[in-house]
Every structure is written in structure tokens, then in C-alpha cells.
Amino acid sequence: MTTATTAPLDAPPTLKQGDADDRIGLRAHVRHTGALIRRNLLWIRNNPESMFDALLMPVVFTLLFVYVFGGSIGQALGGGQDAYVQYVIPGMLAMMSMTIAQAVGTGFNEDFQKGIMDRFRSLPIGRASVLIAKISVEILRMLIATTVLMVVAVLVGFEVTSWSGLFAAVGLSALFGFGVMWIFLTLGVVMKSAQSVQAMGFLVMMPLQFGSSIFAPTASMPGWLEAFTQYNPMSGLADAARGLMVGGPIAHGLWVTLAWSIGLTVVMAPIAIRKFTNKA
């Protein structure tokens, strides 16, 4: 009597993290990104309260700074509250880009806590598509917040002297926000909770926003702080937006903003994608 023997079946090869990205072409990446953008937009439609920050924050901050600080700082500018409106609104445009950018990190972390990102990471889709889709929707939210800001700005007396300059300033703000979002996406991956991401974002945003030319001229600041504002990306964006929208110097603020935007994207985008791909 003979005993039949069977050779063990070879186990299917296990895909390493990142192999999916290597096997997916550009067209598939674009298709996956579009599908994920649609998914994120549908989520916003079903959860309209997620838009409250984009809709209400521009109103609250504009009214607060114009009517609380406008009189005193406007006098220092030599024109009262009307002069301060012309000064602060372009700065508020810069602030919106940073504030909305922070939301991408907290939302991303919450998706991890709910297991949504684990489902995405188990699918044969490009890892970068998940991040780019998230950023694309946040850029859209940023543009909505900017639209609300400009409507409120006109109601409180802001005068746009150059519409082409306004669109250029909005585009520059979106470019800077795109770069900053990669930082917050990285924080959303590595931090253990959305509260931690929010706290870290607060620690980063406060010095950059208030140690800048967003809300007040820098000439009266101490020398060391004024030197810091010269290369603070928030000052660069605020000054460039101010020059584009109401007139004034543009060159220094423009190159500072572009340098920071490109540098953050080049450095942080690969880090964010790698952290997302390799997260245990």
C-alpha cells in the first residue's frame, strides 16, 4: 500500500507596505483621488456642522478685530477704523490659510481613531491619493472661508483696489495652506489623539500669527521680534496679500511665501506619505 503525498501549496506573496503605490499608475492615482474627494464631499454634505468653522470663523474674527482693535490701531495707522479695515483684511486672509490647515490634521487623526484610514490602507489604492484627496477638500473649505471673509469685509467697509490682485492673493494663500497642511497631516498620523494635534497646532499657530504683521504693523515691535517677522511666513503672506489687494510692496512677502510653501511641500509631503504608509 502506498501513501500519497502532496506538496505544500506555496503561500501567496505578502505585499509590503508601499508595493501598492509602486504598481499603481498615474491615471489610477488620479481616479482614486477623485473617488476619495467625492467621498469626503459626501461626508461633509451629511455632516454640515463640519463647515461651521469655515463659515463662522471669518465672521467672528473680522468683527472682533475690526470693532475691538480697529479704533486704536487705526489711529496709529493714521486713518482710524477705516484704515485698519484696509490693513487687517489681507492679514485675515493669511490667518485663514493657517487655521483651516490645522483642521486637516485633527480630522485625519479622528479618521484613524474611527478605523476609516485602516480600511483605506487595506485597499489597493495609492497611499498618496488618500492624503491628496483630504488636502483638496480642505483647500475647497479654505476657499469657502475666504469667500465668507471677503463678503463680511465688504460689509464692514473694505475696498478692493485690484480684483486681479485679490485673486492672486487668494491663490497665494491656497498655495501656502497646501504646504502647511502636510505638516498637520504628519501630526495627524503620529499623534495619539485629535486633542494632541489641536494642542500642537495651537502652539505653532499662536507665535506665527501674533508675531507677524497680520494684525498690527511691526515697526513698534522690539528689534528681535521685528527681525523674526521679516521671515515669518505669516508676515510674508499678509504683506504680499496686502500689496496685491490694496497696493504696496509685494516682492519680499511674495518670495518669502513662495519659499516657505515650496519648501514645506518638498520636505513634508514625502514624510507625511511615508508615515501614513508605515503606520502600525
Residue 234, CB-side half-sphere exposure with 13 Å CA sphere: 25
Domain carrying residue 130: 23-278
Confidence of residue 200 (pLDDT cuts 50, 70, 90): confident
> 4 in a domain, yes or no?
no
Look at the chain and report how many structural domains it folds into: 1
> 110 in a domain, yes or no?
yes
Query: pLDDT for 47-80, tens place per residue?
Result: 888 788 788 888 998 898 888 888 888 877 777 8
Structure confidence at residue 4 (pLDDT): 45
> 8 in a domain, yes or no?
no
> 18 in a domain, yes or no?
no
Structure confidence at residue 21 (pLDDT): 54
> 3 in a domain, yes or no?
no
Q: Which class for 111: exposed (0-12), middle (13-18), buried (19 or more C-beta within 10 A)?
A: buried
* Cell reading at 208: 506665527
> 90 in a domain, yes or no?
yes
> 10 in a domain, yes or no?
no
> 15 in a domain, yes or no?
no
d(CA 275, CA 160): 42
